[in-house]
Amino acid sequence: MVKGIINKIIRFSAVDGPGNRTVIFMQNCNFNCSYCHNPETINSCTSCGICISSCNSNALKLVNNKMYFDANLCTSCDNCTNICPTYSSPKTQEYTVDELFKIILKAKPFISGITISGGECTVQYNFLKEILIRAKKENISAFIDTNGHLEPDKMKKLSKYFDKAMFDIKSFEEKEHFKLTGITNNYVLQNADFLLKSDKIYEIRTVIVSNFLNNKNNVEKISKLISNSQSTANYKLIKFKNHSVKSKYKLTEPSDETILELKTIAENNNCNCIIV
């Protein structure tokens, strides 16, 4: 049975899609964004054991050459991640789909659905697909939260199984996208176009960073992409916040005036624009 690597599960969240949702944060990401707020979700733990001695709570040990983590002892000090050569986390856990749904089904009476997030959830494609298929069987609404970088054929297949996607377009321009994430946006734009036209997107998100991204150009082009598709998707503009971001670039938080100006651009292009 296929197993997935999970960073964490939040049983009840009001900010990861409509209503109250259980959110599954998968480990691994194929982007390396300069503004990432959760860089410990990017790489996998290789069970090298280096971080064990950094844990003053004895929450970590190797069992049969695999990292074992005792959540009851952990004080969330982050020593282990800070000392890890790849800034990974030893606190990830493997789940089968059955194990995951034992947790989800307990929450089912109280939630509007589940959202599978990350990291980047599509990196663990087979596991993700199994979760979505099971959610359909259990009659549970399933959203994915994605950076959109997946071969378009695979995204088309996957879209049969999820209800809606929360979809990042980090930059409309290829070079700028590459500078920000380390990957081009070819797949992202192809998938956005297909999913918007299929009305499979709940919201498109763009993080606004001053002095680094051409925000006006991005908002102008992305809002037109959304409205020209006739989709019901919202356009969410996310204000970059500098806390806990380690970047080789100088990234600047945008002013409220800048955000309002961008919102006006999106609204003039007939988008329902939300600011967070």
**Comparison of 58 and 268: residue with beta carbon closer to ligand SF4:** 58
Locate all alpha helices (DSSP H) within 23-150, ordered by sequence: 79-83, 97-107, 125-137
For ligand SF4, the closer of residues 86 and 190 by Cβ is 86
Q: Which DSSP state fits 108?
A: G
Q: Minimum CB separation from ligand SF4 for residue 89, in Å?
A: 6
Residue number, 42 or 208, with CB nearest to ligand SF4: 42
Nearest residue (CB) to ligand SF4, 49 versus 182: 49
Supply the minimum distance, in Å, between the C-beta of residue 7 and ligand SF4. 12
Q: How crowded is residue 49: how many other Cβ atoms within 10 Å of its Cβ? A: 13
DSSP state of 68: E
d(CA 138, CA 141): 9
For residue 26, the minimal CB distance to ligand SF4 (Å) is: 16
Residue 69 Cβ vs ligand SF4, minimum distance, rounded to whole Å: 6
Asked whether the beta carbons of 92 and 119 are under 8 A apart, the reply is: no
Beta strand pairing call for 21-26 and 3-13: antiparallel
Residue tagged 């069987």 (tokens)? 137
Burial class for 237, CB neighbours closer than 10 Å (0-12, 13-18, 19+): buried
Q: Which is nearer to ligand SF4, 58 or 214 (CB)?
A: 58
Q: What backbone torsions phi and psi does residue 38 show, to the nearest 5 degrees?
A: -130, 60
- Residues forming contacts to ligand SF4 in the complex (CB under 6 A) are 45-51, 54-55, 57, 59-60, 67, 74-80, 84, 86, 88-91
What is the smallest separation between the CB atom of 103 and ligand SF4, expressed in angstroms? 21
